[in-house]
Structure 1
Amino acid sequence: MEELNYIDLFAGAGGLSEGFIRAGFNPIAHVEMNKDACDTVKTRTAYHWLKENKKAKIYHDYLKSETKNKEELWKKVPENLINSVINKEISKETLDEIFDKIDNELNGRNVDLIIGGPPCQAYSVAGRARDPHGMKRDQRNFLYKYYVEFLKRYQPDMFVFENVPGILSAKNGVHLENIFKAVRSAGYELALPKNRYKVLNAKNFGVLQDRKRVIIIGWKKELGFTYPNFDETEPKYEVLKDLFSDLQPLKNGEGTLNAVEYYKPANEYLKQSGIRNGLEIVTQHIARPNNENDLEIYRIAVDEWNNGKRLNYANLPTRLIKHNNVQSFTNRFQVVNGKGVSHTVVAHIAMDGHYYIHPDKKQNRSITVREAARIQSFPDDYFFEGSRTAALKQIGNAVPPLMAEKIAEKIKSMLTR
């Protein structure tokens, strides 16, 4: 079967791309402005090439190394693959340069698909709440215009545009309508007005996280497709019993970025989801240090949660309240639901872990980098480059690979039928 090629725009750490690679698609280029995220995608690109060429031991040795040299790892794979990860902000000034780089990578091949979604802060409800202008002046509102420029230039058969549910209400839906108009003017069709997009929840695709995303799918008008139906299921696994069970218990400040052995064998969910995929080591299982004030709040929060309630910051003992604002964001300390699926992991996890308290009171800490990655369904051999903070930011911004894979399988069936 002919190779299906795609370009990933605003690629982040490559969560969306990982799903499409698993489904058999071939990445031509990833475009991303954040250097740490680009480095992560380069390392993952190296992983896929080494695995495909029966040299996976090189990558496994990299994971086991305590002095990781990513540049040395990248030298083990063809240079053009590493260069296909383009570390550029997509803007008016950089567009021609990015086009030139992608054209060089294409080398006469077609682009079958474009995937990706502009940074979501400008569309998110939380982002608008925090910004004094409600994000109305934020230039990220208009990044979709550059996405459309890629559609015009490379004429893929289809595209997948992903974003937060807040895009539906941003500027009372004007931004969404403008996106629809722009892709239509570029020669792409969407489903009938009531089905132009779907709000999909990661928890219905095997991810142990309540994470809703708007997925817009378009196709060249002459193809006559309709919006695909996805096989959504109710979650039957739990965070504590199934997702975290094999990881070494830690206190706050404990753990390591380096490779350690698992605490227990892999269970059904970890195998089925691909989170555990044969390796007997795991990296980046490291917890933040916390002060005694926060640790006491964590204990109270877990007790409240175990009694069926969320902690209200304003109701804490006065001696523990350190923020002047007790009227808004009173849910700033939240426990991950150990007996079900987690609430949404967002990029703010890079700032502090208060919104992601581990449900096991004995461990009394926020979740580790690896636990956050697992909630997002990243496999354990996925290594996030950069500092712990950089890794958490990448994870919080990502599309869950497991959800992406299910979307990719549907797109593949449409393109190959």
Structure 2
Amino acid sequence: MPLQNKIERFLSGNTPRVLDLFAGCGGISLGFHKAGFNIIGAVEVDPHAARTHALNFCRDEPEAIREIHANPRDITTLEPADLLEELGYFEPVDEVVDIIVGGPPCQAYTRVGRAKLREVAEHPDAYLQDARGNLYLRYLHYVAQLQPLALVMENVPDVLNYGGHNVAEEMCEVLDEMGYTCNYTLLNSSFYGVPQMRERMFLIAYRQELGVEVTFPAPTHWVDLPRGYHGSRQVALRNVVVDLFGEHIRYVEVPREFTPDSAPAVSAKEALGDLPAITTHLEGTLKRGTRRFNDIQPYRERPKSPYTKLMRNWPGFENNVGIGDHVIRSLPRDYKLFRRMLPGDQYPEAYQHAQEMFQEELKARREVGQRLEEGSEEYKQLYSSIVPPYDPGKFPNKWRKMEPDMPARTLMAHLGKDCYSHIHYDSEQARTISVREAARLQSFPDGFKFSGTMNPAFKQIGNAVPPLLSYAVGRTMMTTLNAVRIQDEA
């Protein structure tokens, strides 16, 4: 009966309610919000990310309500009924949430297999017996308790080949037993208007009572992905299950070919070109330490590309005044090296450039009569002031200078520690990307605010699902659900 009540409420025209688990700062939530869903709450353990989610999705709520939503929550100890009560929902626990979205981390999953996943469906407290798989089990526990009409799970491609497990396939098996129709695929964000080549697994499931098939969004953009992305994809797909007829059981291949309707992928320059140039660090005025978001900087120019127009005019997150989080790291040793690097250069090339710069400096000093003995303290100090200390054979991908005419490579949570993976393509600026530039590369609009200071904001952005990719998934799901309404009316 509760499920039928939920279906009838949906069929009557109510906007589907979404609960975001492992929400981070709200990348999935933002995409689903744009697609027309109602974001009713989130579960996120990181305090800054939880507050960011509340700042953006409860902006019009009274401060007391916003503070409730801003509370960090540990899904391993929080029961669904208690969460809903905290959020102000006192209906039966299985009647409130229509859609669950989220990306449970896959740490320590290797020793949790099909049996454990099935166990949680039959015994909701089974997660207490094995903390190693707690996060996936908690996701399933919330599904079992809340009985959503549909759900989305997002994760890295390697979740398809994780310690001998195809986690997505195993989740589908369990969800099928719980009454869901389920499929999964790999999507690259650059094919959906995001200026970043980020590959992710998406799993979608619908209640079997809805009578619908799972579909995934067709690409709208195209780019010839670098070789490394193809290789990583093939490794991830090695463990995709194939049946006796040679067909994938639940994996769905989304077309990746260029079509006449495909737009070129959004490049880094298209995404960032209207933002203010940053050069104060080259004048020696940028100090190390905490970067706050207090100073609003006006835009450099009017938005020229469709992408920059969207970033400034995203419905509900408009911003045409300026940006306050356009802040960067202080890395004085490397400014000259950043300028010397060519677009596409990685750490081995950067290291070679640095060696050349060091030899040039030695030559310049010799020409004015100054000689440094190799091995002397002064020699060592000069070397370390120019050449980074990392072994180029061990850290080939640690650095990368972005190519202006290509989407950026995948942003990582490691942005919270350093930004060498995304050195700005403009050599005149000679720096790594700013917080707002990282947000732009992830497709967060300029009106989306991040809680905390620079390092927490970088971490939140690097961990996020690109909102435009989430929007493509959410829009496809809304189309599927609306078809159920149309069929019911007919």
Same fold, judged at TM 0.5 (above): yes
Partner of 1:298 in structure 2? 338
Deviates more, 1:111-120 or 1:376-385: 111-120
Q: Distance in 2 between matches of 1:123 and 1:273?
A: 39
Paired-residue identity, %:
30
Partner of 1:112 in structure 2? 98
Partner of 2:296 in structure 1? 259
Amino acid at match of 2:275: L
Deviation >6 Å, runs of 4+: 121-124
Q: Distance in 2 between matches of 1:34 and 1:227?
A: 32
Are the structure 2 counterparts of residues 273 and 119 from structure 1 closer, same or farther at C-alpha, using a change threshold of 3 Å? farther
Q: Indicate whether 1:329 and 2:329 are aligned.
A: no
Matches within 5 A, 1:249-288: 249-251=277-279, 252=281, 253=286, 257=293, 258-270=295-307, 272-276=309-313, 277-288=318-329
Partner of 1:67 in structure 2? none
Q: Indicate whether 1:406 and 2:464 are aligned.
A: no
Q: 2:172 aligns with which of 173, 177, 180?
A: 180
Task: Give, in angstroms, the shift of residue 400 of structure 1.
Answer: 0.9
CA contact (8 A) 1:287 1:367 kept: yes
Are the structure 2 counterparts of residues 123 and 213 from structure 1 closer, same or farther at C-alpha, using a change threshold of 3 Å? farther
Structure 2: gaps of 5 or more residues: 1-12, 111-129, 223-263, 359-382, 484-490
Partner of 2:368 in structure 1? none
Are the structure 2 counterparts of residues 281 and 120 from structure 1 closer, same or farther at C-alpha, using a change threshold of 3 Å? farther
Amino acid at match of 2:96: N
SS in 2 for 1:260: coil
Q: Distance in 1 between matches of 2:480 and 2:428?
A: 49
TM-score by length of 2: 0.69
Q: Distance in 2 between matches of 1:336 and 1:348?
A: 17
Are the structure 2 counterparts of residues 333 and 375 from structure 1 closer, same or farther at C-alpha, using a change threshold of 3 Å? same
CA contact (8 A) 1:29 1:86 kept: no
CA contact (8 A) 2:15 2:38 kept: yes
Amino acid at match of 2:466: P
Are the structure 2 counterparts of residues 233 and 123 from structure 1 closer, same or farther at C-alpha, using a change threshold of 3 Å? farther
Partner of 1:206 in structure 2? 193
Partner of 2:275 in structure 1? 247
Q: Distance in 2 between matches of 1:90 and 1:278?
A: 34
Q: Distance in 2 between matches of 1:120 and 1:203?
A: 24
Partner of 2:428 in structure 1? 362
Task: Give, in angstroms, the shift of residue 169 of structure 1.
Answer: 1.4
Task: Give, in angstroms, the shift of residue 118 of structure 1.
Answer: 1.1
Task: Give, in angstroms, the shift of residue 299 of structure 1.
Answer: 2.6
SS in 2 for 1:210: coil
Q: Indicate whether 1:87 and 2:72 are aligned.
A: yes
Partner of 1:341 in structure 2? 407
Q: 1:36 aligns with which of 39, 48, 60?
A: 48
SS in 1 for 2:159: helix
Are the structure 2 counterparts of residues 85 and 29 from structure 1 closer, same or farther at C-alpha, using a change threshold of 3 Å? farther
Q: 1:144 aligns with which of 113, 125, 136?
A: 136
Partner of 1:372 in structure 2? 438
Are the structure 2 counterparts of residues 245 and 261 from structure 1 closer, same or farther at C-alpha, using a change threshold of 3 Å? same
Partner of 1:52 in structure 2? none
Q: Indicate whether 1:17 and 2:5 are aligned.
A: no
Q: Distance in 2 between matches of 1:81 and 1:324?
A: 45
Amino acid at match of 2:270: D
Task: Give, in angstroms, the shift of residue 86 of structure 1.
Answer: 4.6
Cα deviation digits, residues 346-383 of structure 1 (max 9, x gap): 10011111111000000000000000000000010111
Paired residues, number:
364
CA contact (8 A) 2:268 2:408 kept: no
Q: Distance in 2 between matches of 1:384 and 1:140?
A: 31
Amino acid at match of 2:327: I
Q: Distance in 2 between matches of 1:240 and 1:214?
A: 23
Are the structure 2 counterparts of residues 238 and 181 from structure 1 closer, same or farther at C-alpha, using a change threshold of 3 Å? closer
Task: Give, in angstroms, the shift of residue 309 of structure 1.
Answer: 5.0
SS in 2 for 1:159: strand
SS in 1 for 2:303: coil
Q: 2:460 aligns with which of 388, 394, 404?
A: 394
Cα deviation digits, residues 2-32 of structure 1 (max 9, x gap): 1210110000001110111111211222000
CA contact (8 A) 1:45 1:82 kept: no
Cα deviation digits, residues 51-95 of structure 1 (max 9, x gap): xxxxxxxxxxxxxxxxxxxxxxxxx6263454245511211xx13
Q: 1:101 aligns with which of 79, 83, 95?
A: 83
Structure 1: gaps of 5 or more residues: 50-75, 125-137, 191-195
SS in 1 for 2:408: coil
Q: Root-mean-square deviation (CA), in Å?
A: 2.6
Are the structure 2 counterparts of residues 39 and 278 from structure 1 closer, same or farther at C-alpha, using a change threshold of 3 Å? closer
CA contact (8 A) 2:106 2:136 kept: no
Amino acid at match of 2:90: N
Are the structure 2 counterparts of residues 323 and 241 from structure 1 closer, same or farther at C-alpha, using a change threshold of 3 Å? closer
Cα deviation digits, residues 211-258 of structure 1 (max 9, x gap): 111000011123232221413122525545421121111034499722
Are the structure 2 counterparts of residues 238 and 154 from structure 1 closer, same or farther at C-alpha, using a change threshold of 3 Å? closer
SS in 1 for 2:83: helix
CA contact (8 A) 1:22 1:405 kept: yes
Task: Give, in angstroms, the shift of residue 298 of structure 1.
Answer: 1.8
Partner of 1:61 in structure 2? none
Task: Give, in angstroms, the shift of residue 140 of structure 1.
Answer: 6.6
Q: Distance in 2 between matches of 1:118 and 1:232?
A: 25
SS in 1 for 2:221: coil
CA contact (8 A) 1:239 1:338 kept: yes
